[in-house]
Amino acid sequence: MNKIDFTKTEPAFENEGGFKWYIDPYFQEYINTKQKENLPKLENLGCFVVVNEKQETKDFVLINNKQQIIDAYPYNNGGFEQMEAKLNMLKITKHFDDYENKC
């Protein structure tokens, strides 16, 4: 898991309540690229690390292009694995949906 240095990185945006949203570079690239297993890229999704004002809580948050939360996991190794599994599940689902639409 690549940790974000929150002291050197600007948040993508902030919202009420003092929450700062940082783009997670690893997962955003994972979403936007096709994997070696021939899984498709995903569209209209963003993965962020959300931090409260006092940096007491940090979470991986997956949102769609309407800023609706799809899923959230703690910003730790377990949460990293859960987010990776969620993205793989979405990619596999898209792969089979695309396959079914071609038939």
pLDDT tens per residue across span 25-65: 999 999 998 776 778 999 999 999 999 978 778 999 999 99
Percent of the chain beyond pLDDT 70? 98
The answer to whether the beta carbons of residues 90 and 42 sit under 8 Å apart is yes
Please check whether residue 8 lies inside any domain of the structure: no
SS3 5: coil
Please check whether residue 33 lies inside any domain of the structure: yes
* Pick from 67, 55, 44: nearest CA to 9: 55
| Overall domain count for the chain | 1
Range of the domain at 20: 13-102
Please check whether residue 25 lies inside any domain of the structure: yes
Mean pLDDT, the chain, rounded, equals 91
Please check whether residue 7 lies inside any domain of the structure: no
The answer to whether the beta carbons of residues 40 and 91 sit under 8 Å apart is yes
